[in-house]
A and B are shown apart, each in its own frame.
Chain A
């Protein structure tokens, strides 16, 4: 069987015996952005948590670059090139912006490369450079989102998992974040799994989309087609 770059097969997850995912399968090729959209509680975040091992799947397999990763502990996935930006941003609030970014390089030993990555990320996010010595808790929501994405980039990811990056941000800032995700994908060749409530934004910047409905894939297809799909339009794009 031909293996894709990333494949999750038939994932099932339950919380305290209540099933949250029933046999979810997703897969894509290197360099793609795929989005997972769906209502609250449909299982989008759970899918990401299962991929990173924060929540173990009770059934199913996860393959990345031809290796099975579903039994790998979450902290070991970072050095394999998978970085997750959790929902709600989760900066280290009482730590400087600089230390937050350096936490992303925790598993790396290459001092010179860490310094040059830090420089590159600060060039990408000039706002963070201005606030380098400030505590992360004092940043605005949009700046915090940039910080957690920058922090994840410091791990040198091949695959970036983004959980609701637009949550709670003003429309203009959401547009900035969307452009940023595209840039990172194109310029750094990072594949992205994007979980979003903002379905329109997610489908616009991704090539492929999955619609989760109560723990199952209700619908999947090229993002452009999903944007035109009557069902998706009615339920997730506000008509």
Chain B
């Protein structure tokens, strides 16, 4: 039992980074980032490349990969999303564009890194014992870094001037513009930050379970599940969704055979959405 809780907490912390990122992009841009899992994957593979091929220390590789994917996210906003939003009147167009960017990243990763599962050796070795549960030191490290980053993002969004402008932008774009906010710049920053959060999650997880170029869609699906549970576009909902999915998954893997866990999760999600379509923390539409 303790082991399941420990595993659940570690998964939840990593998932929270993913869910926070996709929520930032969704609420600021009103774009569902279908490429979020691919950004996670790219973060992981870039860390692998920088550590194993280039020989950088892990910390430098993690920071480097996060910045690279963050810049890719900003470029996507400036060159793709902004243009499509300006020229189209239908929201589906940005969704199609997001799917396109997912394919672009996945195929770029396939040609650059190949299709093999890649891993990075654990950063810290050793195992802690918490009651009856084993906690490998490396997983504790991943958990710790994730929690620190989550707290940092929450502080930034809630208490900094730019974070406040991001929240304003998510609520009323015109009113935000009238406050003198350079909304284009804040959108770019928000997209970059969301992408960077996906990348750092991938860069952390590659030391635990490895990453391959095809993992993106599965991660995006998990991100969607989390924001559907918690409520799309709400930060507290993203965190709640991450905690819920992390622990459900940990329990499922412990008690259910193999692939049954996600089958159950999807069935439960469908029933849940029938009862509460806006998620736990979400506001009903309209």
Contacts and interface: CB of A to CB of B under 8 A. Distances in A.
A127 interface: no
Interface in A81-101: 83-84, 86, 90-95, 99
Interface in B171-191: 171-172, 174-183
B204 to A, nearest CB: 30
Interface stretch (B106-114, B160-168, B192-200, B267-275): B160-168
Contacts of B174: 54, 86, 90
Interface string A75-118: 11111000110100011111100010011101100000000000
Contact of B181 (A75, A91, A94, A151): A75
Contacts of A99: 164, 167
Which of the listed residues B178, B179, B183 has the most CB atoms from chain A within 10 Å of its own CB? B178
Interface in A150-177: 151, 155
Which of the listed residues B168, B175, B183 has the most CB atoms from chain A within 10 Å of its own CB? B175
Which of the listed residues B165, B174, B177, B179 has the most CB atoms from chain A within 10 Å of its own CB? B179
A102 B181 CA distance: 12
Contacts of B179: 75, 78, 103-104, 106-107, 151, 155
Interface residues of B, number: 17
B177 A54 contact: yes
A106 B165 contact: yes
Nearest to B176: A103
A93 B180 contact: no
A54 B175 CA distance: 11
A92 B171 contact: yes
A83 B177 CA distance: 11
Nearest to A74: B177
A52 interface: yes
Contact of B178 (A74, A91, A95): A74
Nearest to A152: B178
Nearest to B234: A94
Nearest to B171: A92
A198 B134 CA distance: 72
Contacts of A77: 180
A84 B178 CA distance: 7
Contacts of B175: 86, 90-92
A102 B159 CA distance: 11
A148 B136 CA distance: 53
A106 B180 contact: yes
B27 to A, nearest CB: 10
Contact of B171 (A95, A104, A151): A95
Interface string A46-86: 00000010100000000000000000001111110001101
A106 B161 contact: yes
Which of the listed residues A93, A94, A103 has the most CB atoms from chain B within 10 Å of its own CB? A103
25 contacts: A54-B174, A75-B177, A75-B178, A75-B180, A75-B182, A76-B180, A86-B175, A86-B178, A90-B174, A92-B168, A92-B175, A92-B176, A94-B167, A95-B164, A95-B171, A99-B164, A103-B164, A103-B168, A103-B176, A103-B179, A106-B164, A106-B181, A151-B179, A155-B179, A155-B180
Interface of B: 161, 164-165, 167-168, 171-172, 174-183
Interface of A: 52, 54, 74-79, 83-84, 86, 90-95, 99, 102-104, 106-107, 151, 155
The 4 closest A-B pairs by CB, nearest first: A78-B180, A107-B180, A90-B175, A92-B171
Given A83-B178, A102-B164, 10 more contacts: A75-B177, A75-B180, A76-B180, A92-B176, A103-B165, A103-B176, A106-B165, A106-B179, A107-B180, A151-B179
